[in-house]
Amino acid sequence: MGTADFGYTERASRLRGAVAWRHRAGAGGPARILPDGCMDVIHSEGRLIVAGPDTIAHLTWIPDGARTAAVRFAPGQGPALLGISADEVRDQRVPLDALWPSDQVRRLTERLEEAPDPVAVLEAALLAVDRAPDPLAPRLLAPLRAGRPVAGIAAEVGLSERQLHRRGLRLYGYGLKHLARVLRLGAALDLARGGVGLAAVAASAGYADQAHLARDVKALAGVPMKELVP
């Protein structure tokens, strides 16, 4: 294959709200995976794993020429389909056969190894799992992205803050206050990568000031913004 076959591509998945993605590495090396509140089911190097929601950046090593096919679930979408609570896999990479029957996972892995389009095969297998997501999951994201306080969101959905925290652990892997920080980081990176200056990024994304932006980026990503947005 030519060099155009290397790199990362994604598209909207047939699973509502999810993203189907693939990656083929050229030369391998370290990779920094930033927290985004999402969970992924990943096929790579002959293995199926679930990437749980990360609280901070996850550091990994990508082998030379590694091929990856995956589905990324929107925040809160994956737990119901996978039959788990998100906090069970928080900050972890867990073999799928630890969560699903091993024979089922083995057969799916064999199909993925042979398939010309493994992403489509993985999507079909996930679509066949008839488990509806918790309707509360997407309902909470818009007010969090808008910077609404958790206490107000809890009152709107008819839960106490403690009850909402427990639901957040099951749906997202962590409480809503941390999820809000993760979502705000994503918004800030999108703005910065679009050429917006850091002072304007801080104001637009809901940080108190540029110093607050810098502290939160370093805390969640492990490196300063300049290393994420050259």
User: Does the pLDDT at position 162 exceed 60?
Assistant: yes
DSSP letter at 89 equals S
User: What pLDDT does residue 55 have?
Assistant: 98
User: What pLDDT does residue 230 have?
Assistant: 81
In the chain, count H helices and then E strands. 10, 8
DSSP letter at 76 equals T
Mean pLDDT, residues 118-138 taken together? 93
Mean pLDDT, residues 149-155 taken together? 96
Per-domain residue ranges of the chain = 3-127, 136-228
For helices 210-221 and 198-205, angle between their N-to-C axes, nearest 10 degrees = 80
Tell me the CATH number for domain 136-228. Answer: 1.10.10.60
Integer angstrom CA distances of residue 96 from 41, 205, 206, 214: 8, 35, 37, 36
Task: Say how far apart CA 196 and CA 200 lie, in whole Å.
Answer: 6
User: Does the pLDDT at position 59 exceed 60?
Assistant: yes
Torsion region of 206: left, alpha or beta (phi above 0 gives left; psi -120 to 50 gives alpha): left
User: Does the pLDDT at position 117 exceed 90?
Assistant: yes
Place of tokens 């693939």: 22
- Give the pTM: 0.92
User: Does the pLDDT at position 165 exceed 70?
Assistant: yes
Say which residues have a Cβ less than 8 Å from residue 15's Cβ, sequence separation at least 6.
Answer: 71, 73, 77, 81, 123, 126, 127
Instruction: List, for residues 170-226, the tens digit of each pLDDT value.
Output: 999 999 999 999 999 999 999 999 999 999 999 999 999 999 999 999 999 999 999
User: Does the pLDDT at position 71 exceed 90?
Assistant: yes
pLDDT classification of 120: cutoffs 50, 70, 90: very high
Q: Are 114 and 35 in contact (CB under 8 A)?
A: no
Mean pLDDT, residues 3-11 taken together? 76
User: What pLDDT does residue 3 have?
Assistant: 36
Task: Say how far apart CA 5 and CA 10 lie, in whole Å.
Answer: 13
How many CB atoms neighbour CB 55 within 10 A? 17
Q: Which two tokens stand for residue 35?
A: 């927290």
